[in-house]
A and B are shown apart, each in its own frame.
Chain A
Amino acid sequence: MKCQKCDKLATFHITDLSGDQLLALHLCAECVKEYLQPDETPPPAAKVVSNVISKQLKLEQTTEELAELDHKECPVCGISFYEFRQGGRLGCPNDYVFFANELEPLLNNVHGSVEHVGKKPMRGPHDTQPQTELIKLRREMKDAVDREDYELASELRDRIKSVEGESQP
């Protein structure tokens, strides 16, 4: 009998019970290795992040502390810590400041460092924290429009215009 994956002689005859149906397989010595130990591709970065955080949290926090931390929300973009640790992606630049304590062990774990030593922008501010104000204002304006509070929305629009004017490169 020939191997189902290549043309060599099938020397392994397997019945796989793991799926919904019985699966009969006839494989050669090489293909069986691949079947039993599929290539391990590294998990995507976001997965790495959420795994490291979960591990780290289990070590350090009680259940109550964890529940409280999960509810913590960034005032700028509104992402909760729970959403971040589930998805592995942050919501805005301000999260690095707002969740600084929670991120530090993660950064140390992934990079072995918490300090950037590379290139800096040649022009403009080396700390763009003030610009995150715009993210917050835009979000508030959208909320105001959704609530049909057009007076507040137009006030916010003017403030956004003026902040935008200051931060133009």
Chain B
Amino acid sequence: MIFDEMACRCGEWLRGSGPESDIVMSSRIRLARNLAEYPFIRRCNDFDRVNIEASVRERLEQSGDFEDFTFIDVAELDNLDRQLLVERQLISRELSDAEGARAVAIDEAERISLMINEEDHLRLQVMKSGLDLDEAWQQINAVDNNVEQQLNYAFHPDLGYLTACPTNVGTGMRVSVMLHLPALVIAGQIDKVFNSLQKINLTVRGLYGEGSQAMGDFYQISNQVTLGKSEESLVEHVGSIVPSVISYERKARDVLIKDGNHDLFDQVSRAYGLLQNAQQISSEETMHLLSKVRMGINLGLIGDLEIPEVNKLFIQTQPAHLQKLRGGLPDSANRNRARASYLHRHLKRPKFGEDPAESN
């Protein structure tokens, strides 16, 4: 089954490569589109939803531009598989929790996902590892052009692409960059950064988008305005601000290191120790501790672990991934024990003097 294979892989946004990837986890662009001949989702009856899904799927499958995409009927999936797709950011929580006909098409590399019957009829999304907005825009624009060959998008000469929520009308575009900002959090500077971002029409969200809390010091910065600016200038706007946030985070890290901040060193070591030795651990605590360890690696405080390995642990210790990898584990107490033993196996390093190489 595709989902079992998926759970073993890291996926695009946690690949841990690409420009500035010590701080920038991923770059993402999504476009909201609707079919002209149907009401928006909230006014659709069951029959409309089925027709939208079937016609989008049929047109895209026929076109030849989407041959390496897998179409997944989300309504048919069980909770676990839906949750797995949410954790991998291939579908939104809204699509997962909705009712009625809905689907997603995902490309082989898990970079592109096309959600059908989300808040809008279509949500096209491209994800890239690291800071790579220009490339993300080129890709999503090409996907959009291909889809548009097959379907009539609702479009108004003055207002552009029409969307269910007026906050998305015009370009229908949301440009997001996900950043790991632990040093700014420790330095107590994060609110200041967010306030200044809000003044220039950028919004800040937690790891899983709208309404989600910031977990493990991950934050998504994205554009608020979608009307009255071209797609290129929106990409430019977000893209021009991110480097200064990155440089604030780097400065905060430098200061922490230079001051010989013992609290910081202690926090990193404790986090690493807990992850290696805990007997049971929740996914929230794991995220929180992995975040500290990730920063510790970037600051050179931990020498025997690499970023891609940590990124893999971030995704594979989430509830649905853990259940897929270990099988069973429906209750969270068992899961917390399985998570601890999983972390133990992946993080336990030979103790000094026990190194098998040394004993030879």
Bound-complex Cα distance A88 to B152 (A): 25
Chain A residues lying within 8 Å of B231, measured Cβ to Cβ, are 118-119
B42 touches A91 (CB 8 A): yes
Of residues 59 to 108 in A, which have CB atoms within 8 Å of B's CB atoms?
Answer: 76-79, 87-93, 96-97, 103, 106-107
Contact A49 B170, CB 8 Å, known A119-B141, A125-B155, A167-B36: no
Stretch at the interface among B157-165, B327-335, B352-360: B157-165
Contact A131 B37, CB 8 Å, known A79-B43, A107-B166: yes
Report how many residues on chain B are interfacial, defined by Cβ distance under 8 Å: 57
- Say whether A147 faces chain B, with CB atoms less than 8 Å apart: no
Of residues 116 to 146 in A, which have CB atoms within 8 Å of B's CB atoms?
Answer: 116-129, 131-132, 134-135, 138-139, 142
Stretch at the interface among B4-12, B68-76, B98-106, B221-229: B221-229
> Per-residue CB proximity of B16-52 to A under 8 Å, as 1/0?
0000000000000000001011111111010110000
Contact A107 B212, CB 8 Å, known A89-B164, A125-B155: no
Contact A114 B227, CB 8 Å, known A79-B43, A125-B155, A126-B155: yes
B225 touches A110 (CB 8 A): yes
A135 touches B228 (CB 8 A): no
> Per-residue CB proximity of B230-248 to A under 8 Å, as 1/0?
1100000000000000000
Bound-complex Cα distance A124 to B147 (A): 13
B145 touches A122 (CB 8 A): yes
Contact A96 B160, CB 8 Å, known A39-B214, A90-B40, A121-B148: no
Chain B residue nearest to A168 (CB atoms) is B152
- Say whether B169 faces chain A, with CB atoms less than 8 Å apart: yes
B43 touches A92 (CB 8 A): yes
Of residues 43 to 95 in B, which have CB atoms within 8 Å of A's CB atoms?
Answer: 43, 45, 47-48
B160 touches A45 (CB 8 A): no
